[in-house]
Amino acid sequence: MRIGAPRAAGADPRLVAVTPDAARRLAGLGHDVVVEPGVGDGARLPAHEYVAAGARVADRADVWGADVVVTLDPPGPAELDLLRPGATLVAQLAPATRPELLAALAARGVTALALDAVPRISRAQSLDVLSALSNVAGYRAVVEAAEEFGGMFTGQVTAAGSTPPARVFVIGAGVAGLAAVGTAVSLGAEVHAFDVRPEAAEQIESLGARVVRAADAVQQVSADGYASAQSADQEAAALRAYAEQTAQADVVITTALVRGTAPVTITRTMLDAMRPGSVVVDLAAPGGGNCEATVPGQRVVTDRGVVVLGYTDLAARLPQHSSRLLGTVVVNLLTLLTPAEDGRLALDLDDPVVRGMTVAHAGEVTWPPPPVPVSAAPPPAAPERVATPAADPGAERRRRGMRRTVLGALGVVAGGLLVAASPPDAVGHLTVFALAVVVGFYVISNVTHALHTPLMAQTNAISGIIMVGALLQIGDSSPVVTAIAVVAAALAGVNVFGGFLVTRRMLGMFRRGAS
C-alpha cells in the first residue's frame, strides 16, 4: 500500500511522524512511502535522506491521497477534502473532545486510528505516543528551567567558597515527572518529588530523589495506575505540602493532569512566597495549567520576580529526538497492521489494541471503544477472613526499642562485671578495645559510598599490621596464644588478598577500554 507522510498540518512543523529510518523500515514491510517536500525540514531531515531510504517525494495532493496517511496533527477542512474514501488516517485526533472531526471522517468513509487513544495495556506500550513525547517534555522542562535559573544546578566547592545545589521540586511522578526528576538529579540538583499515588514513591527514590510525603493526600492504588480526582481533604493536604516545598525550591516543575484536565497545584499565594528568580515550569499548560499564573504557550514573570513557563511545545523543541520516537511508534503500529509483511493492511478489530485506536470505520464513528478485558478468567474468590483488631503501627517499634534497651543494659552490666574481675593491667586494655570498637563503628558507618574504595585500602593496611603482630606471636610458649595467632594471620591474609582484589576490579572500571 502507499503510505503518505505530509507536512504537519498544525502550527508547529518541527515534528514529523515518518523519518527516513522509519521510511526504510516501512518499505521493508512491503509499503511504498511518499513524502511531501519539506516534510522533515523542521527536524533537519533533508529530502535526499528520504530518497536514499526508498521514499518518493510527491506533491501535497498525492501524499494526502495515499492509501494510508500518517501525520501528527488532526487534518483541517482542506486536508479532509484531499482524503480519498476508503483511506486510513493515522494521527493524534483527540477523539474525546472532537466529535465533529470523527463524524466528518466517518462520512468520507475514512478509517481513522488515533495515536492518542492507545489502550493502557502492556502490549500497547510500544505504540504510546503520549508517553514518548511526555518523556521528552520532562527532560526539556529541566533544560528550560536551567536556562532561566540564575545559578548552577550542582553545588560547587572552589577556592573562593562553596555554593549549594539548586533545590528542585517536581509535582507528579508520571512519565514526564520521572523524566524531569532523572534529568535534574543528573545535573546535580537536590530533587524532591511528590505524587498522590503511593506506588510512585519507589520510582522517585530509585532515581536518587527524595519523596515528599503527605499521608492525608495519598490515594489508594488505582486500577489503571493513574491519579483520579482528589477529595476536598486530600486536595487541602496536598496544597499544604506544595506550599511548604515551593517556598524552599529554586525550581518547581508541575505535571499533574487528571484525564487531560490540569488541577491547580500552585496558587498565587505560593508564588508570592517563592524567592525572586525562582522558576516554575508548567508541563500541564496544554490542559490549562497547574499554576494560577500560567498562560499556555507564554513566559510570565510575576511581580515578585518568579518566572512561570507555560510552553506547550516542549517536545517539539527537540525535534530530531521526538521525531525519531514518533517514527518508531508509526513503524510499530504498521508492523502490527501488516502481519504478513506483504504491503497489505489487515485491520483486526478483534485485537483490543487496534480496536481501541480505531475511532472511525466503514462509515461509522467507533468511539468510544469497548472496555479492554484485563483477564478472561474470573478472579479467584477471596478467602474468608476473621476480623481482627487493627494493629498498632507503633507497637512493634516500641517492642524493638525495648529489646535494644534491655540488651544494652545487660551488655553494660556484663562489661562492668568483666572489668571488676579483671587484673589491673587488663582494665586499660579493655578500655582501649571498647573505645576502638565505638569509634570504629561510627567512623565506618558514616563513610559515604564514594569513599568505600579508599577506605578499603586503609583497612588493608590495618589488616597488614594485624598479620605482622600475629606472625610475631606464632611460636609462643602458650599453645592458646599460638592458635589464636595462626587464626588471626589466616583471617588477615584473606582480608588483605580479597581487599586488594576487589579494589583492583573497581579501579579497572575507570580505565579506558575497560568493559
Catalytic residue (choose from 84, 213, 216, 226): 226
Catalytic residue (choose from 44, 84, 123, 125): 125
CA dihedral of residues 173, 177, 180, 185 (deg, nearest 10): -10
Catalytic residue (choose from 126, 131, 219, 248): 131
Instruction: Report the number of distinct structural domains present in the chain.
Output: 3
pLDDT for the residue numbered 454: 58
Contact 110, 358 (CB under 8 A): no
Q: What CATH number did the domain enclosing 104 receive?
A: 3.40.50.720
463 counts as catalytic = no
Catalytic residue (choose from 24, 98, 120, 304): 120
Per DSSP, 363 falls in state T
382 in a structural domain: no
In this structure, the answer to whether residues 151 and 282 fall within a common structural domain is yes
Contact 7, 35 (CB under 8 A): no
In this structure, the answer to whether residues 439 and 490 fall within a common structural domain is yes
226 counts as catalytic = yes
Which three cell numbers, joined as nine digits, stand for 213?
A: 510525603
Instruction: Return the closest-CA partner of residue 235 out of 290, 276, 288, 272.
Output: 290
Distance of alpha carbon 38 from alpha carbon 47, whole angstroms: 7
105 in a structural domain: yes
Single pTM value for the model: 0.68
In this structure, the answer to whether residues 300 and 181 fall within a common structural domain is yes
120 counts as catalytic = yes
Domain of residue 268 covers 135-155+164-315
Instruction: Dump the DSSP string for 292-344.
Output: TT--TT-EEE-TTS-EEE--S-TGGGSHHHHHHHHHHHHHHHHHHH-TTSSS-
pLDDT for the residue numbered 472: 84
In this structure, the answer to whether residues 216 and 112 fall within a common structural domain is no
Residue count of the chain, please give it: 515
Distance of alpha carbon 511 from alpha carbon 514, whole angstroms: 6
Over its length of 515 residues, how does the chain's per-residue pLDDT go in tens digits?
A: 999 999 876 657 889 999 999 999 999 999 999 999 999 998 999 999 999 999 999 999 999 999 999 998 889 999 999 999 999 999 999 898 899 999 999 999 999 999 988 988 888 889 989 889 999 999 999 999 999 998 999 988 888 888 999 999 999 999 999 999 999 999 999 999 999 888 889 999 999 999 998 887 776 555 444 556 677 888 899 999 999 999 999 999 999 887 667 899 999 999 999 999 999 999 999 889 999 999 999 999 999 999 999 999 999 999 999 999 999 999 999 999 999 888 899 999 999 999 999 999 999 999 999 887 654 445 455 555 554 454 555 666 677 778 888 887 887 788 778 777 777 776 776 777 777 777 766 666 665 555 555 556 666 777 778 888 888 888 888 888 888 889 988 988 888 888 777 777 777 766 655 44
Q: How many CB atoms lie within 10 A of CB 213?
A: 11
In whole angstroms, how far apart are CA 132 and each of 170, 215, 284, 511?
Answer: 19, 31, 16, 35
In this structure, the answer to whether residues 185 and 303 fall within a common structural domain is yes
351 counts as catalytic = no
pLDDT for the residue numbered 260: 67
In whole angstroms, how far apart are CA 298 and each of 38, 135, 255, 289, 294?
Answer: 28, 21, 17, 11, 8
In this structure, the answer to whether residues 112 and 182 fall within a common structural domain is no
In this structure, the answer to whether residues 147 and 285 fall within a common structural domain is yes
pLDDT for the residue numbered 418: 74
Which three cell numbers, joined as nine digits, stand for 378?
A: 474470573
Contact 367, 360 (CB under 8 A): yes
Domain edge (last residue) among 252, 283, 315: 315
125 in a structural domain: no
Catalytic residue (choose from 73, 116, 128, 250): 128
325 in a structural domain: no
In this structure, the answer to whether residues 108 and 235 fall within a common structural domain is no
Distance of alpha carbon 427 from alpha carbon 250, whole angstroms: 56
Distance of alpha carbon 249 from alpha carbon 254, whole angstroms: 13
32 counts as catalytic = no
